A and B are shown apart, each in its own frame.
Chain A
Amino acid sequence: MKLAGKVAVVTGGGRGIGRAICLAYAREGADLVVASNVPGEDEAVAGEIGSLGRKALPYTLDVSDGAQVQAMAEAALAEFGRVDILVSNAGIQRRALLPFSDETEWKRVLEVNIYGAYHCCKAFMPGMIERNSGRVIIMSSVSGKMANPANSSYAVAKHGLIGLARSLAAEVARLGAKDVTVNAICPGIVNTDIMTGSEGNIAMLSQMLGLSQDEVWEQVYKPIILQERMLDPEEIAAMAVYLASDDARGITGQAINVCGGMVMH
């Protein structure tokens, strides 16, 4: 087991990629704080972790609120004593063409994705730096490296998270904590609610473009993915396990694509 005795906090842990990361970490021996803004979903995942024989603290919060994140950090430290791994994964999207977008909605995407990551890094990294041991994994996206039409707030937020990962990697090293690594994962099109759910990308684009959902996949997504398939959340979780492990101690400041060949830079 690669994460035996480690403690991880996973935001957005109640579903999709975050849930897959929670379960993969538990299988590798980690205990977890499963954080999400949907009461019930964090508890369900925590229950699954318990059935794998690991400890899990479900925690309901809005990561865009710094005070709530701070309270979660206190709860995590009270329960587990320390946090070794932060996976900042909570994210939302609000699809709209920029000129037609609602300003509050557009900014909300940045508040959850970027401010949420900022709050979590600020709450959990001081302990990692003090111990000179830790892993920060930030969920960016291929949208952090390319245009995403009718989704500018998401692309802006995901680009911003790569800047955050790179800067923070340099900061912790210069503070002397060379065994704390900070990296981003950039998934491509993954089979989660944000893509295939009832309010997901395929349903949204189907409405916006006047195409069937099958046509959206065939005409919009499939042609830009070499492997012409959706990724499974477990493939992202495997990268998150690798980056959290001792094997990846020399990897920092990177934004690694797991995308079936959508983006190569």
Chain B
Amino acid sequence: MILTDKTAVVTGGGRGLGKAICLAFAREGAGMVVASNVTSENEAVAAEVTSLGGAAIPYTVDVRDESQVEAMAETAFAEFGEVDILVSNAGIIRRELLIHSDSDDWKKTIEVMVYGTYHCCKAFVPGMVERDRGRVIIMSSIMGKQANPANSSYAAAKHALIGITRTLAAEVAIMGAKGVTVNAICPGIANTEMITGPEGTLTRLSEMLGISPEDVWEQVLKKMSLQERLIEPEEIAALALYLASDDARGITGQSINVCGGANMF
């Protein structure tokens, strides 16, 4: 087991990629805080982690609110003493053309992903820097590297997260904490509720384009990736595990695509 005695905090841990990461980390021996803004979901994942023999605290939080993130950090420190791995994964999507978008909705996407990540890094990275040991894994997206029509807030937020990743990687190193790495993962189109759920991208684009969800897949999404398939959450979790492990101690400031060849930059 490669994360024995490690403690992680995973935001957006109640479903999708975050849930897959929690379970993969638990299988490798980590304890964790399963954070999400839906209580029933973080409790369910925490129960699964416990059944795998790991320690887990479900925690309901709105990462946009700095004081709530600070309270979560206090709980995590009280329970586990220190946090070795931060996975800032919480994210939302509000699909709309920019010119038709609602300003509050547009900004909410930025607040959850960019401010949420900022709050979490501010709460958990100081301990890592002090111990010169830790891993920060930020969930960006291939939309952090390319255009995403009718999804500008998401693309803006995911691009910004790559900027945070690179800059924070440099900052911790300049502060002397060369044992702390900061990296982003850039998934392609993954098989999660955000894509395939009832309010997911397939449904939303189906409404916007006036074609069936199947046609959205065939005409829009399938052709985006060389492998012409959805990425499974477990594939993203495998990279998160690798980046969290000692094997990846020399990888920092990177934003790594797991996308079936949809983006090569």
Contacts and interface: CB of A to CB of B under 8 A. Distances in A.
B188 interface: yes
Given A228-B178, A239-B247, A258-B250, 18 more contacts: A166-B264, A173-B261, A178-B227, A178-B228, A247-B239, A248-B238, A248-B239, A250-B231, A251-B239, A251-B257, A252-B261, A253-B264, A254-B257, A256-B254, A259-B250, A261-B169, A261-B173, A261-B252
B226 A261 contact: no
B238 A247 contact: yes
A247 B178 contact: no
Chain A CB within 10 A, most for which of B169, B173, B250, B253: B250
B226 A252 contact: yes
**Which 3 A-B pairs have CB atoms at the shortest separation, nearest pair first?**
A173-B226, A247-B238, A238-B247
B247 A265 contact: no
Given A169-B226, A227-B178, A260-B250, A251 B258 contact: yes
Contact of A170 (B235, B238, B261): B261
Interface in A217-240: 226-229, 231-232, 235, 238-239
B253 A261 contact: yes
Nearest to A262: B253
23 contacts: A169-B226, A170-B261, A173-B261, A174-B226, A226-B169, A226-B252, A226-B253, A238-B242, A238-B247, A242-B238, A248-B239, A250-B188, A250-B235, A250-B258, A251-B239, A252-B260, A256-B254, A257-B251, A259-B251, A261-B173, A261-B252, A264-B166, A264-B255
A232 B251 CA distance: 12
A82 interface: no
A264 B254 contact: yes
Interface in B175-190: 178, 188
A188 interface: yes
Contacts of A260: 250, 252
Contacts of A226: 169-170, 173-174, 178, 252-253
A226 B257 CA distance: 22
A261 B214 CA distance: 42
Interface in A190-235: 226-229, 231-232, 235
Interface of B: 166, 169-170, 173-174, 178, 188, 226-229, 231-232, 235, 238-239, 242, 247-261, 264-265
Interface string A146-165: 00000000000000000000
Contacts of A188: 250
A253 B261 contact: yes
Contacts of B178: 226-229
Contacts of B231: 250
A94 interface: no
Q: Taking each of B188, B232, B249, which has the highest tally of chain A beta carbons within 10 Å of its own beta carbon? A: B249
A261 B235 CA distance: 24
A254 B238 contact: no
A188 B254 CA distance: 13
B170 to A, nearest CB: 6
A248 B227 CA distance: 13
Nearest to A251: B258
B167 to A, nearest CB: 10
